Structure 1
């Protein structure tokens, strides 16, 4: 059984449930173990394992990214004019609600092992609003069709973009298209925001091809374009984007 959840600064929602049981009998409640704190812990373990396998070991401080303060700050990004200080922990449920398209959200899949009664996380995708697209250095081998349409450029100028900040999946679950399910749901939401005048329909993501070649393959397979170096970004960081 695979379940897909959406975490926002407002609540946690069960989006889909692949249980083979009758749809009417499915339990739509969110289990106690499905929390942002537990998802943060899942991401921490996931990235620590990934970096160790890459031979980077302790040279990457995962705690700077995978911690509740940082996740709360980003999941509430843009939802208020006076954002919480970066170092302050804030319970986002106590802050004024705003359209999710102008804040952040996380999609996560889970499954329940046959020998357990609790759901465990298997993948996640964290996206949030950005007011603009990062500036890039055009590559010398640019190809036609590698620019946003005029309509999209106008929408981005007024509504910003939806930026995929972090994502990952359990290595043992990577052939089950779990990340694709998270991305598919994000695209549905981005299209809805665009149709409602709340978004531009443009998604962006930064990655480092030398370190994460699998991510580049995933993005290209799912219709992303780009690959130009990000101005001011860390060495090797490039931008990919998709217009819906």
Structure 2
């Protein structure tokens, strides 16, 4: 059984997306105690530490600097004025955070899995996608082969200049649950929300993501399969980081 949750600065909610797995009985919008931001950051930390070790990087990358409560809270909540922020308590209750336009804040989509026949068991995180607001489009160096073939359409470029873009900052799936379209489910819900923000005049409808093809070839396949284009090197980006984008 798979459930999909949305984490924002305001609340954690269960999304009934009418997918194949939603044929099972659903608890409505009841959120189990184990579905919280600290547990999700712990899941992401373990996931990426495993990834980097498999890539032969060992512990040279301090994943905890990215996957920690203070950093995740900052990216969920960044931009709100007049409200003090503190790193003294990393376990911030996102349910108590005041509202702001969702299209300008961070949002996380996460799936949980529970074995069939174990409805009474605890849900465990199996994938997540963390998207944030970016005020501008990353500058890139066009590749010699593609040139301007992947240039952002002028209409979309104007929208990004006025309303920014929705940037996929981090995402990952548990190796044991890959090829089950969990990340596709997260992306589909993000796209649905982005389209709603665009219709309401809150966003540009443009999605962006950075990746490193040599390190994450599976991510490139996932992006191109889902309609993203690009692949040009990000100016000032770490190593071989490239940009992919999609206009909705």
Query: TM exceeds 0.5?
Result: yes
Structure 1 contact 70–86 (Cα < 8 Å) conserved: no
Q: Hey, what does 1:50 align to over in structure 2?
A: 51
Matches within 5 A, 1:150-229: 150-229=154-233
Q: Comparing 135-144 with 202-211, which one deviates more in the overlay?
A: 135-144
- For 2:27 and 2:36, the matched residues in 1 are separated by 20
Matches within 5 A, 1:107-186: 107-113=109-115, 114=117, 117-142=121-146, 145-186=149-190
Q: Does 1:241 align with 2:242?
A: no
Structure 1 contact 132–156 (Cα < 8 Å) conserved: yes
CA shift at 1:112, angstroms?
Answer: 1.3
- For 1:161 and 1:7, the matched residues in 2 are separated by 19
- For 1:83 and 1:130, the matched residues in 2 are separated by 21
Structure 2 contact 9–98 (Cα < 8 Å) conserved: no
Q: Hey, what does 2:103 align to over in structure 1?
A: 101
| TM-score between both structures, scaled by the size of structure 1 | 0.92
| TM-score between both structures, scaled by the size of structure 2 | 0.90
- 1:181 is paired with a residue whose SS is helix
Deviations 1:59-78 (A, max 9, x none): 11111111000000001123
CA shift at 1:242, angstroms?
Answer: 0.4
Structure 1 contact 4–15 (Cα < 8 Å) conserved: yes
- For 1:6 and 1:21, the matched residues in 2 are separated by 19
For structure 1, the 5+ residue unaligned runs are none
- For 2:139 and 2:191, the matched residues in 1 are separated by 23
- For 1:81 and 1:217, the matched residues in 2 are separated by 39
RMSD over aligned CA atoms reads 2.0
- For 1:177 and 1:15, the matched residues in 2 are separated by 16
Structure 1 contact 72–89 (Cα < 8 Å) conserved: no
Q: Hey, what does 2:2 align to over in structure 1?
A: 2
CA shift at 1:87, angstroms?
Answer: 5.4
CA shift at 1:16, angstroms?
Answer: 2.1
- 2:151 is paired with a residue whose SS is coil
Matches within 5 A, 1:53-72: 53-72=54-73
Residues matched between the structures, number: 241
- 2:152 is paired with a residue whose SS is coil
Structure 1 contact 201–243 (Cα < 8 Å) conserved: yes
- For 1:198 and 1:97, the matched residues in 2 are separated by 15
CA shift at 1:86, angstroms?
Answer: 8.6
Deviations 1:161-219 (A, max 9, x none): 00000000010111100000000000000000000000000000011111111111111
- For 1:144 and 1:160, the matched residues in 2 are separated by 21
